[in-house]
Structure 1
């Protein structure tokens, strides 16, 4: 292949794969993306049921604030532009505990006022929390180049721009959310801090998440996940990329310690100068290249689900009359106990998509329930026969519907079931390891997982996946795609043309 016609083949058309494809075209390569599903997007997906739209992914999109490096990446890949509209949401979420109701508002001063009014005895911890959320707003994921490629000036600049983050890490980086909750006296505040993210999460991650909301760096693009994916696909195609859907790859071809192409399900072989794997990394190791390429770091993390747990969810979507459910945002509440995935459930959340009028017919809204599931629950679902699996799903839907109607009696007779999905759904559709829709959880006292996206002993194979840095998610995925091409372009002494 001639120098100016080098070819990149990307396995997987999720956010990381699309990002890599777009940056590959901007760097002047011929690029083909092979995606096993009928549409690109991976876990950043939405689908239609009974005239309604269900959104699977974006709870908030980190990197929406203009002027940030990550915002530039989202703009480059076409996910955002100057005309992008964002949902008019004024809160992060609300927790109900007993007779108390407490909200983390987008307006941080409003949150402070509400928390202090609820529990004056917790004033010291409340004041500290609010102050440190302001510090955490400085946190930005590196988006210009991989951290291992950063020089002294890059680190100096990062240190200056995030001067207060060490304070956050010192105060909240060595405790988990369960420990944070115990710093508060009021039961509703104790509950508040263990509702949104798993209690095993390091507390600093929660502060950074909330800070993205309060600072305007975590907005929700209108139209949801599928609409954003379509914009990225259009950008890739506009640049001349080739997207092959319904095209499962069965093997990455490696000869003489060098990746040379891929083999399709129909045995067709596609050769390329570079291969980027943008699938779930266990899928890559287990099937596409073989576990002999999995080094000790990957092995230790996958083998220890105590230190590196994974989480997924059982989710159910319903359509309701607006007159029967006029709440906004995400609400957590206690419920009478039931089991799903073998896990006892005593508290659930419901999210209203009232800000997306196109998601439901006039006078209706989509509401969605999320129940966390972990490695153990995945194994439960995986061990069921097809008949048992369908039966357990129906039982879960019935239990969820009953508890929604108990908490919000106005829903009785005014809601209809749309769909239910489980960790097995994520495994089936995305080949997600243990059904996880994000990477390894960052726990206290455990070194946060991060790798370069390269494999020792294999040339011309790069990893662009949310799995290369904990806790994964959309920001990691989109930057991983960029960084994979950045490494290739550096190797070939090419520039990425951002004006294309």
Structure 2
């Protein structure tokens, strides 16, 4: 059954909530769906993956309800407040902010960018070493080539090779985010082949050339060290392909920063979802998935309420889903490999992140780059608690969007990869030492910013430090790993099999699917596309025609639409 456009009438379902009660052996506690009524779908988690699933399921004729443990949508795509400053946590750039490609189409269907301006920058990042030498990674290949040759004429050969490949990538329009391969029509497969085949050698060569081996070709030590930090941190296992792909996207204004930032993106998708008739229950933590005769029939909340549906989609943490909500009873070789073997491998999983947000009374230097990665000296590394990769990223976040700072004030965001285990151990065993460590971060950041931006120290009003354990408690993401799985690793192959072969399901368990970053891959566009994919598979099972259309929203964005923002911790660093 396919409904009319759900925006034309109120389609919010009446859901049955039940307290746990004794049941006779073999008795089913799920109410069967009357013939001709819309199927009901429960979604666990209101991150981007869960909200996307809800939007597409509503458009396709299902009646959905999302249960979210937090008070805000978005999961890791979030923000919080401190002294009238908004500390935006997730997005550094967003694939799909342009037009004329399938990534942009996904965001239009989800209403994510409705009424918003997009901040585009002429460079991806600037990298500065301990001696003050800098290199800027411009998105324009001609400008980049001239700049790099000026820094090191002796490295003309690798410089020209990189920029030549970047020019080639600017001619490729390949964003495979609409349909999972098993469901693609012959026409869709042919369109992909027409894009891939002419560039096959380029794509293959750049996919097998590791960035670290490419950097060995440089004579200049700055270039050799700086190239891996094009994406702010060193992604270590990345080949050349993702660097070239994303810089080419930014060149076409398709990797910008949306007004409203991370929580603004989540709020827009949440609004799209509720206008389609969906419902989000906040402060509603799911304790387990209800299973009868090897079929998921609903969920039980921590407060004991039971809610029933024809299908359940988990869009929350992977280990929580498999071991917690399902009690480890249902799994598969691929899922076992992901969440037993691969979660213990640091080469496959991003580490946690330390964030220090700085509220400044005054405007930032207009000549300062919007984003700079500083390569740290041994002395600085010894002073910065738990720093990995010997680097610190400094971003002028109030330049990314309005509303992040009060008028006449600014926000700076400083980040670095750090070891989750050491932070977790301190917070668990010695809370006083944990807070002292956060204070160390704050003190270092104050001094570091003063060193590179003289006078800023006197204008700093607040420093807010979030450790990897803060991220885990606030968002539920395991290990504080906001980025999740590293791309271009064996984890990618397992996730691809999960999507294409297992169809985002678990063998032996009917009526249950999985979405979100742990099952669809990292990055916001992949999480959003995962919601589209899982809904297309879901429609096959439920007998629905998959439907999707642009939201068409045009109301201008305003910071007030972020809503009430909580504070992460009641205790502050000085």
Output the CA distance in 2 between the equivalents of 1:465 and 1:358: 28
Q: Greater shift after overlay, 179-188 or 450-459?
A: 179-188
How far is 1:218 from its partner?
0.7
Q: What's the TM-score once normalised by structure 1's chain length? A: 0.93
Structure number having the greater strand percentage: 1
How far is 1:323 from its partner?
4.9
Note closer, same or farther for the CA distance 1:127–1:469 as it changes in structure 2 (3 Å cut).
farther
Output the CA distance in 2 between the equivalents of 1:352 and 1:258: 50
Q: Is the 8 A contact 1:92 1:329 kept in 2?
A: no
What does residue 51 of structure 1 align with?
84
Which residue, out of 196, 201, 208, partners 1:167? 201
SS at match of 1:417: strand
Q: Render the CA deviation track for 1:249-303: whole Å, top value 9, x for unaligned.
A: 1111111111100001111110000111110111111211122323232333342
What does residue 431 of structure 1 align with?
476
Q: Is the 8 A contact 2:237 2:347 kept in 1?
A: no
Q: Render the CA deviation track for 1:463-489: whole Å, top value 9, x for unaligned.
A: 11112244x110111011111111111
- Does residue 405 in structure 1 map to residue 405 in structure 2? no
What does residue 531 of structure 2 align with?
481
Output the CA distance in 1 between the equivalents of 2:446 and 2:492: 40
What does residue 358 of structure 1 align with?
403
Q: Render the CA deviation track for 1:161-212: whole Å, top value 9, x for unaligned.
A: 2345533443332243322322222122112212224342322222222222
Aligned pairs for 1:106-121 within 5 A:
106-121=139-154
Q: Greater shift after overlay, 323-332 or 125-134?
A: 323-332
Q: Is the 8 A contact 1:337 1:346 kept in 2?
A: yes
What does residue 10 of structure 1 align with?
43
- Does residue 140 in structure 1 map to residue 174 in structure 2? yes
Output the CA distance in 1 between the equivalents of 2:401 and 2:487: 32
Which residue, out of 180, 185, 192, partners 1:158? 192
Q: Render the CA deviation track for 1:439-464: whole Å, top value 9, x for unaligned.
A: 21135677644222211111111111
Q: Is the 8 A contact 2:78 2:90 kept in 1?
A: yes
Note closer, same or farther for the CA distance 1:179–1:16 as it changes in structure 2 (3 Å cut).
same
Output the CA distance in 2 between the equivalents of 1:23 and 1:65: 21
What does residue 467 of structure 1 align with?
518
SS at match of 2:411: strand
How far is 1:317 from its partner?
0.5
How far is 1:84 from its partner?
2.8
SS at match of 1:94: strand
Q: Is the 8 A contact 1:262 1:270 kept in 2?
A: yes
Output the CA distance in 1 between the equivalents of 2:427 and 2:292: 35
Q: Is the 8 A contact 2:177 2:526 kept in 1?
A: no
Instruction: Count how many residue pairs are aligned between Structure 1 and Structure 2.
Output: 498
Q: Greater shift after overlay, 260-269 or 63-72?
A: 63-72
Which residue, out of 26, 32, 50, partners 2:59? 26
Note closer, same or farther for the CA distance 1:9–1:59 as it changes in structure 2 (3 Å cut).
same
SS at match of 2:382: strand
Q: Is the 8 A contact 2:111 2:269 kept in 1?
A: yes
Output the CA distance in 1 between the equivalents of 2:425 and 2:385: 6
Note closer, same or farther for the CA distance 1:384–1:142 as it changes in structure 2 (3 Å cut).
farther
Note closer, same or farther for the CA distance 1:390–1:107 as it changes in structure 2 (3 Å cut).
same
Output the CA distance in 2 between the equivalents of 1:388 and 1:148: 52
Instruction: Kindly report the root-mean-square deviation, in angstroms, between the aligned alpha carbons of the 2 structures.
Output: 2.3
Q: Is the 8 A contact 2:363 2:410 kept in 1?
A: no
SS at match of 1:143: coil
Q: Greater shift after overlay, 426-435 or 36-45?
A: 426-435
Q: Render the CA deviation track for 1:294-329: whole Å, top value 9, x for unaligned.
A: 323233334241442322210100022445643131
Output the CA distance in 2 between the equivalents of 1:178 and 1:287: 39
- Does residue 293 in structure 1 map to residue 337 in structure 2? no
What does residue 372 of structure 2 align with?
331
Q: Is there any run of 5+ residues in structure 1 with no aligned partner, and where?
A: none
Q: Greater shift after overlay, 121-130 or 83-92?
A: 83-92
Q: Is the 8 A contact 2:372 2:394 kept in 1?
A: yes
Q: Is there any run of 5+ residues in structure 2 with no aligned partner, and where?
A: 1-32, 552-574
Q: Greater shift after overlay, 145-154 or 37-46?
A: 145-154
Which residue, out of 222, 238, 242, partners 1:202? 238
Aligned pairs for 1:303-318 within 5 A:
303-304=341-342, 305-318=345-358
Q: Is the 8 A contact 1:307 1:446 kept in 2?
A: no
Note closer, same or farther for the CA distance 1:230–1:144 as it changes in structure 2 (3 Å cut).
same
What does residue 508 of structure 2 align with?
457
Output the CA distance in 1 between the equivalents of 2:210 and 2:426: 28
Output the CA distance in 2 between the equivalents of 1:68 and 1:357: 27
Output the CA distance in 1 between the equivalents of 2:242 and 2:427: 30
Output the CA distance in 2 between the equivalents of 1:381 and 1:370: 20
How far is 1:144 from its partner?
1.9
Q: Is the 8 A contact 2:42 2:64 kept in 1?
A: yes
What does residue 127 of structure 1 align with?
160
Note closer, same or farther for the CA distance 1:376–1:109 as it changes in structure 2 (3 Å cut).
farther
What does residue 113 of structure 2 align with?
80
SS at match of 2:228: coil
Note closer, same or farther for the CA distance 1:188–1:163 as it changes in structure 2 (3 Å cut).
farther
Output the CA distance in 2 between the equivalents of 1:165 and 1:417: 50
Note closer, same or farther for the CA distance 1:484–1:415 as it changes in structure 2 (3 Å cut).
same
Output the CA distance in 1 between the equivalents of 2:545 and 2:309: 20
